[in-house]
Homo-oligomer: A and B are copies of this chain.
Amino acid sequence: MSRNAERRAGAPLTNPRSDRVRSVRALARRSVRMQSGRFLVEGPQAVRELVRYAAPSIVDLYVTAAAGERYAAVLDSAYAAGVFVHSVSDEVLAAMADAETPQGMLAVAQQPEVSLTSVLAGSPRLLVLLQEVRDPGNLGTVIRGADAAGSDAVLITDSSVDAYSPKVVRSTAGSLFHLPVVTGLEASATIQELASHGIRTLATEGEAATSLADVDLTTPHCWVMGTEAQGLPDSLATQCDQRVAIPIYGKAESLNMAMAATICLYTSATAQQPLAPY
């Protein structure tokens, strides 16, 4: 009997209709997340990153016997961090999960309280502000791309999709726990606040006269990206220090928002860190 199996020797939870299961499953609903301040983290990869970077925020971790054997290293880290680990039946895990394939493991965690003030106190060099991003997959992809590009934080307006919805959490592939994600911001006030801290704001806009290739990206700046469908409203673009177009070399009309963000952030990262960092 392995050490993990011993530690989980208490009888597994087997009733998929219990109050506990219902309360976990309810976290797929935005209203329940808002009220409780908690959210779901599904699958061993995401749980591993959660344990690694935000273990104190974990309320409970649920795991099936098969997943406990298969992802023993994740469980060991969780035990070492003092996380409450509960053994559950396959039925219970399926009943708790939002994902179709949660791979036998999920956690309930407390949403971090991250403010723009605390981000600005860290003298950030690279930021992205998303205005009214609606698609969960797009938001998750931008958070993942911002992480890969070494951004200091992702800023999201209050009219956007909830960053703690299960689909966003899944599509960040753990990046949600790697960098501060500030939610509930008002776009115009945020642009002002950034300016007052000497951070240049760059509005992405297909029609802009300045190309991405011609912008100085070595100093601290924040990319400001609009909605998938309409782009950034002119009132907000006007507030920014510069309007920047991503060049289109072929016949495409535009890039989708997540791709545009990834290209801008990687161009910035390359400009700010000319030596290969890996």
Contact = CB atoms under 8 A, between A and B. Distances in A.
A149 interface: yes
B250 A150 contact: yes
Contact of A144 (B148, B249, B256): B256
Given A262-B259, A263-B266, A251 B175 contact: yes
Interface string A41-84: 00000000000010000000000000000000000000000000
Given A141-B256, A141-B259, A259-B262, A249 B149 contact: yes
Interface residues of A, number: 43
Copies of this chain, complex-wide, total: 2
B151 A250 contact: yes
A87 B75 CA distance: 61
Interface of A: 53, 137, 141, 144-151, 173-175, 178-179, 211, 213-214, 245-256, 258-259, 262-263, 266, 269-270, 273-274, 276-278
Nearest to A149: B249
